[in-house]
Amino acid sequence: MNTSECNSWGGETDLDISMIHTLAPGAKILIIATPVSETQGLTGFPEMMTAMDYTVANKLASVISMSLGTAEDDFSTSAELHNLDSHFKNATDNGVTVLASSGDDGADGRKVDNTTYWHKRVVSFPADEAYVTAVGGTVLSLNSSGTRTGRTCCGRAPAAACRTSSASRPGSRALRRRPAPPAARCRTSRWRARRAPRSPRRCWPRSSGSPTSPPARTWA
């Protein structure tokens, strides 16, 4: 493993841990590192899928947070995407929730060189995976009286570019068809605007008409 390259992701890792600890202060947080960085396109994904499979098989976590993403247009072939599907499905089938970033560039996205932008609406992977829940947000600017003065996407994009996120825009995917949703779904599951199903929520046993508390979760 390239130690210096791994250390360069320290700021991103700290940010993710802080977010998770804020949302779930009682959660046990496990950091899992892979030897190849995910930049754009397929690079880094094979190693990451191996790590995710290991995490699922050894029941190390019930929630996996992946703060990353790449435009589908960055993949060379449809097969590259298809080959990744089974890993996310495996996590879902084993009751593991997978979260992924919707991106920092609004509806746009970066090319494989990680510098040039597509300058068009692109779909972000793996946030658009049928077995992944996309997580994103915007930055709101307030004045001293608390009045909103502006809104930007988390990265460079102005408000106009935030209107339609790359992970949830309507329309078909450019390179592949979405896998069919699982047959059994909880009553509380929802559908994204672009009709891709969210990862099925676990249906906890019900008692006296109310759901019981789920077991403690570990985030990876």
pTM, two decimal places: 0.66
Q: What is the pLDDT of residues 101-137, one digit of tens each?
A: 888 777 888 898 988 999 999 989 999 999 999 988 7
Q: Are 68 and 74 in contact (CB under 8 A)?
A: no
> In which band, very low, low, confident or very high, does the pLDDT at 45 lie, cut at 50, 70 and 90?
very high
Q: Which residues pair with 99 in a beta bridge?
A: 65, 133
Task: Please count the structural domains in the chain.
Answer: 1
Burial class (CB in 10 A: 0-12, 13-18, 19+), 10: exposed
Tokens matching residue 27: 């959660």
| Comparison of pLDDT for 187 and 11, the residue scoring more | 11
Burial class (CB in 10 A: 0-12, 13-18, 19+), 141: exposed
Residue 194 belongs to domain spanning:
3-219
CA proximity to 72, closest of 123, 4, 31, 27: 123
When pLDDT is averaged across residues 28-38 and rounded to a whole number, the result is 89
